[in-house]
């Protein structure tokens, strides 16, 4: 059985254009249109459309609320395909509280495999649900901003944005 067609719409955010891919079951990718370097779906599977689907309307409304500082969690239907290991890492990302960060080492420990730090980093980089599955909340053990497919300036912006609304902090550390 082949995958159903993916629909694509775009949302202009404070960080640039977000490409949102979805089908009748939910959202499968939210990517920074000019930054994502990972695998793209087969162009024959993508249909560019206006957001008429209720899930995509809800997704865009929730993204707008997030950027306005009014939303900390997302509850529209979303999923991504991956190995059991990848799904485990991506699910662990959902447990990182808004406005907080953890290290790649801590994330490795949370999935029960401290030695998998490199694989965790690689998997974090393959996350296709930017912002919603908060891979931007993972930083280096030394506190540095490292490894963000959406470019480090966006990671810094997202972390400062969340800190501002979660803790009333305007600027974080040396970022």
Write the DSSP string, 29-73.
EEEETTT--SPPPPGGGEEE--S-SHHHHHHHHHHHHHHTT--SS
- Half-sphere exposure of residue 66: CA atoms within 13 angstroms, side-chain side: 26
Residue 173: alpha-carbon gap to chain centroid? 22
CA distance 87 to 93: 10
Could you give the CA distance from residue 66 to residue 146 in angstroms, rounded to a whole number? Answer: 23
d(CA 119, CA 86): 9
Q: Please pick, among 20, 133, 135, 138, the residue that the annotation labels catalytic.
A: 135
Q: Which two structure tokens, joined as six digits, stand for 156? A: 């810094």
Report residue 17 as tokens: 């254009």
Q: Cα–Cα distance between 61 and 33 in angstroms, integer?
A: 19
User: Has 135 been annotated as catalytic?
Assistant: yes
Residues annotated as catalytic (active site), given as ranges: 135
């Amino acid at each position: 059985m082949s995958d159903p067609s993916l629909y694509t719409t775009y949302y202009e955010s404070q960080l640039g254009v977000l490409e949102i891919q979805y089908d009748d079951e939910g959202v499968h990718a939210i990517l920074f249109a000019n930054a994502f370097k990972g695998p793209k779906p087969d162009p024959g599977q993508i249909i560019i459309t206006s957001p008429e689907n209720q899930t995509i309307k809800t997704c865009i409304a929730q993204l707008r609320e997030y950027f306005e500082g009014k939303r900390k969690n997302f509850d529209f239907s979303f999923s991504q395909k991956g190995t059991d290991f990848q799904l485990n890492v991506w699910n662990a990302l959902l447990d990182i509280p808004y406005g907080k960060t953890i290290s790649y080492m801590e994330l490795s420990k949370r999935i029960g495999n401290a030695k998998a730090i490199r694989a965790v980093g690689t998997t974090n980089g393959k996350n296709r649900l930017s912002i919603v599955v908060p891979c931007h909340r993972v930083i280096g053990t030394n506190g540095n901003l490292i490894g963000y497919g959406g470019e480090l300036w966006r990671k810094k912006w997202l972390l400062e944005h969340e800190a501002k609304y979660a803790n009333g902090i305007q600027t974080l550390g040396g970022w």
